[in-house]
Amino acid sequence: MPKFLKLTIAQPYKHKATAYVYFALRLLVIPIIIRSIFRADFESLFLCVLTLILFFLPSVLTKRLKVDFPTVLEIIILLFIYSAEILGELNSFYVRIPHWDTMLHTLNGFLCAGIGFALVDLLNRDEHFSLKLAPGYVALVAFCFSMSIGVCWEFFEYSVDRYLGLDMQKDSIIREIHSVELDRTRSNKVITIKDIDDVIIVHSNGEYESLGLGGYLDVGLSDTMKDLFVNLIGAIVFSVFGYFYAKSQGKGIAGFFIPQVKQEEEAKGNE
């Protein structure tokens, strides 16, 4: 039997707390899969299967890269996947729960900074790697790595919305716009329109339709900038923790979120 198939059937996590969380989340997903099959809801079925596959990601990376994920990090990753795919997408938490998307993007910035920090920290600790970076540089790399991942994700959201006609970049309602496009003199003068109460759509047949939005529909821009801003906050928070972690040579709260290289004996035992 292929190793990956064995991994999906067997318990993939050695830490008891992580195994309990993994088992509980899998129990919550399986009934949704059954319901999706009976309803022929293939989109929900796909998201559920994708979620189950993503649940194995930390375990697969542990075996392939020979690193050990801290229990806290593993649990947060599992909860993040469930919150984003099952709660966010299938249960519409992105729309129903205020700031749900903001919370996840902030956490994403924090976790990605941790991954970026780990990549550099592992090289810093490698005796065969001649270049040693100061704690400040390691924290800076972690910050830049997190922001790069955040930007690439926004590129992905825009591409999906643009070419597949979805709405991953959620729209916002604003009541004021500033634009040089409204300047009829074409002199690059900013024209401001305030107290916008509604959007009127004029159809090709000349009919008018009021959307009753209570403002102007901003298509994705505010959401994108908000996501990047909270990603920035998460990245800064971890980078600060990571700086003191590197400065103290492995002591501090950041250690709960940074993968560590396995000892050779332990790595051989897991192969």
pLDDT digits (tens, 9 = 90+) for 172-196: 899 999 999 999 999 999 999 999 9
For residues 201 and 257, state if they share a domain.
no
For residues 199 and 163, state if they share a domain.
no
Task: Say yes or no to pLDDT of 62 above 60.
Answer: yes
For residues 136 and 256, state if they share a domain.
yes
101-106, long-range: CB < 8 A, 24+ apart = 101/170, 101/223, 101/227, 102/226, 102/227, 102/230, 104/80, 105/150, 105/226, 105/227, 105/230, 105/231, 105/234, 106/230, 106/231, 106/233, 106/234
The residue among 75, 32, 34 whose CA lies nearest residue 55 is 75
Q: Which domain holds residue 196?
A: 172-218
Which range is least confidently modeled, 208-217, 243-252, 259-268? 259-268
Higher pLDDT, 50 or 126: 50
The pLDDT-based confidence of 251 (bands split at 50, 70, 90) is confident
**Winning range, highest mean pLDDT, from 103-112, 195-204, 246-255:** 103-112
For residues 9 and 29, state if they share a domain.
yes
pLDDT value of position 263: 58
For residues 132 and 200, state if they share a domain.
no
For residues 40 and 85, state if they share a domain.
yes
pLDDT value of position 119: 85
| Helix 57-65 vs helix 42-55: crossing angle, to nearest 10 | 40
Which residue reads 């008891």 in tokens? Answer: 16
For residues 70 and 197, state if they share a domain.
no
Which residue reads 């991954």 in tokens? Answer: 115
* Region 130-159 average pLDDT: 92
For residues 75 and 200, state if they share a domain.
no
For residues 30 and 137, state if they share a domain.
yes
Task: Say yes or no to pLDDT of 8 above 60.
Answer: no
* Region 159-169 average pLDDT: 92
Which range is least confidently modeled, 101-105, 117-121, 151-155? 117-121
Which range is least confidently modeled, 11-15, 26-30, 88-92? 11-15
Contact yes or no for 135/247 (Cβ under 8 A): yes
For residues 137 and 202, state if they share a domain.
no
Task: Quote the pTM value.
Answer: 0.86
DSSP code at position 172? E
Mean pLDDT of the chain: 88
For residues 46 and 154, state if they share a domain.
yes
Q: What percent of the chain has pLDDT over 90?
A: 66
pLDDT value of position 11: 56
DSSP code at position 206? S
Task: Say yes or no to pLDDT of 264 above 70.
Answer: no
For residues 105 and 73, state if they share a domain.
yes
Task: Say yes or no to pLDDT of 129 above 80.
Answer: no
Total domains present in the chain:
2
Structure-token pair, residue 196: 């916008």
